[in-house]
Structure 1
Amino acid sequence: MEQSPPRHRTGVVALAGLALLGLAGAAYAVRRPLLMSAPACLAGRWHGCGDTENGVLLMMLVGLPAAAVVAWALARHRRATGAPSAWRASLAEVGMIYGTAPMVWLTLMPGPGAGTAPGRTSLVPLRDLATMGPLGVAGNLLIFAALGCFAPIRFAALASLPRILALGAGCSVAVETLQYVLRLDRVSSVDDVLVNAAGAALFGLASRRWWRRTATPTATRPRPAPAPAD
């Protein structure tokens, strides 16, 4: 009788499939703006590619096969050394780094008055939400989405909603502080922090099926029975 595949392997396949479907849907929705930067990116020009939102997102999609190869190599190394959950840990590491670094780069792109315009802040909660618009809110939700989704899968210590919120908020505060200190001609807003943290938490909930399972063994591992007395 043929045995069914291990549960952990099924979970990894489902996680990877969910991530790919999300990326494919997002790419299809914004396919026209992305293709506008394709000529500059294919020609290897920084201007028009690496310094534009469309170019960075396009190169992020183009680099997915390379990211998959890195995840495969890490998983193969872990399996060779006998490490547990090799695929799960490798996909989570690559996913949270590859999905977060380009988004952070987008938030740190300098504006036209970078270096000359003074730093600006907006510290009144919910005041800037009305001016963000649907695309602005969606973009802010995605900044730390990959971090919120994959970090609790990789690190059991982060496998709780309050900790994911704290992680997203802390990373967002760091980015907003850099925007102000480096005088990038951007507004450092408390609403950006709130929406960034909410995005991390929402995508953390989307992967809860996997990160709760990651945290379970350390919390419910039975204690060894005491040795019998002589």
Structure 2
Amino acid sequence: MDHTAPPARRTRRALLLAPALLAAAAVAFLAQRPLHHAGWHGWVGTANGIVFLTVAALPVAALAVRALAGRRRAAGVEPGWARRSALAEVGMVYGTLPWVRMILLPGVDPGGPRRRVTLVPLHDIAEIVGAGPPATAVAQIVGNMLVFAVLGFLAPVRFAALASVWRVLALGAACSVLVEAAQYVLRLDRVSSVDDVLLNAGGAALAALASRRWWRRPAA
């Protein structure tokens, strides 16, 4: 917390922070309940474990932002940019790594001979839409679009060279291709799909549009 801020501003920040911390604690509690007897794999190799560790790491991420911003202010960086750049850098890592870990969780037969690749655009999306309830299809599609959304939102805020929707789209596509290739190479028994690349990249680009007002402009 910035001790130089007026008392009223500090009070507003505290009032906003308290519900967020309570919500994080509730999510962490619900996520960790099935993990007591699961061992180390349950913490790092399951969706519940990843959710719990992500929520538990929130205070660490907040401290990292504060420390990094303070170090930059001490080095003479303008305070507003010091805070924003620190938040963007930590946020990109915190908001992306858990999603990537989720994608790299193994399927039913990891290490087996089966490697599934889909290179026909929109084929998997059509199957998802036609195979189950609409809510399930929407959840899967939106989930894929969120994988690199935080990266897409914050990368152009932090880096002037990425202050372009097309560049963020390319960044999201490149990151997605790497993840899909890792699924194939590591034999995780998951489908490496071009539709995942399209959804991941599209989500990053839409998030970049949402953060456009905060993009850092190149120096004139």
Are 2:155 and 1:154 equivalent residues in the alignment? no
Name the aligned partner's letter for residue 117 of structure 2. T
C-alpha change, 1:42 and 1:113, in structure 2 (3 Å) is closer
Deviation, structure 1 residue 49: 3.0
In the alignment, the residues of structure 2 paired with residue 41 and residue 67 of structure 1 have an alpha-carbon distance, to the nearest angstrom, of 23
Cα offset for 1:44?
8.6
CA shift for structure 1 position 35: 5.3
Indicate which of 50, 71, 80 corresponds to 1:77: 71
Q: How does 1:198-209 map to 2 (within 5 A)?
A: 198-209=202-213
Q: Select the structure of larger CA radius of gyration.
A: 1
Question: Hey, what's the Cα distance between the residues in 2 that align with 1:122 and 1:207?
Answer: 32
| Contact 1:122 1:187 (8 Å CA) reproduced | yes
- Corresponding residue SS for 2:112: coil
1:40 and 1:47 in contact (8 A); partners too: no
Find the partner of 1:106 among 102, 108, 113.
Answer: 102
Give the whole-Å Cα distance in 2 for the aligned partners of 1:183 and 1:109: 11
* CA-to-aligned-CA distance 1:9-41 (integer Å, 9 cap, x gap): xxxxxxxx8xx9xxx6xx79x95xx75531255
Confirm or deny that 1:38 pairs with 2:38: no
Q: 2:82 aligns with which of 86, 91, 96?
A: 86
In the TM superposition, residue 98 of structure 1 has moved relative to its aligned partner by: 0.8
State the alpha-carbon separation in 2 of the partners of residues 38 and 131 from structure 1. 33
Equivalent residue of 1:188, what SS?
Answer: strand
Kept in 1, the 8 Å contact 2:152–2:207? The answer is yes
The separation in 2 between residues aligned to 1:111 and 1:117, in whole angstroms, is 13
What is the identity, as a one-letter code, of the residue corresponding to 2:122? Answer: L
**Pick from 32, 53, 76: which aligns with 2:47?**
53
User: Given residue 100 of structure 1, which amino acid in structure 2 is its aligned partner?
Assistant: T
Q: Is the 8 A contact 1:108 1:179 kept in 2?
A: yes
Q: Describe the shift of the 1:117–1:37 C-alpha distance in structure 2 as closer, same or farther (beyond 3 A).
A: farther
Judging changes above 3 Å, is the alpha-carbon distance between structure 1 residues 156 and 131 closer, same or farther for their aligned structure 2 residues?
A: same
Letter in 2 for 1:194: L
The 1-side partners of 2:40 and 2:186 are apart by 21
- C-alpha distance in structure 1 between counterparts of 2:65 and 2:167, whole Å: 25
Query: Could you say if the C-alpha distance between residues 108 and 202 of structure 1 is closer, same or farther in structure 2, counting changes exceeding 3 Å?
Result: same
Quote the Cα distance in structure 1 between the aligned partners of 2:143 and 2:56.
20
- Equivalent in the alignment of 1:122: 118
Match 1:139 to one of 131, 140, 143:
143
Distance 1:100 1:146 in 2: 6
Given the two structures, how large is their TM-score scaled by the length of structure 1?
0.76
1:179 aligned residue (158, 183, 186): 183
Shift of 1:43: 7.3
Q: Does 1:210 align with 2:214?
A: yes
SS in 1 for 2:39: coil
Q: Contact 1:37/1:55 (CA < 8 Å) preserved in 2? A: yes
For the aligned residue pairs, the C-alpha RMSD in angstroms reads 2.7
For residue 45 of structure 1, report the CA deviation from its aligned partner. Answer: 3.2
One-letter code of the match for 2:127? T
SS at match of 2:105: coil
SS in 2 for 1:48: helix
Contact 2:31 2:51 in 1 (8 A): no
Secondary structure (helix, strand or coil) at the match of 1:87 reads helix
Q: Give the total of aligned pairs.
A: 194
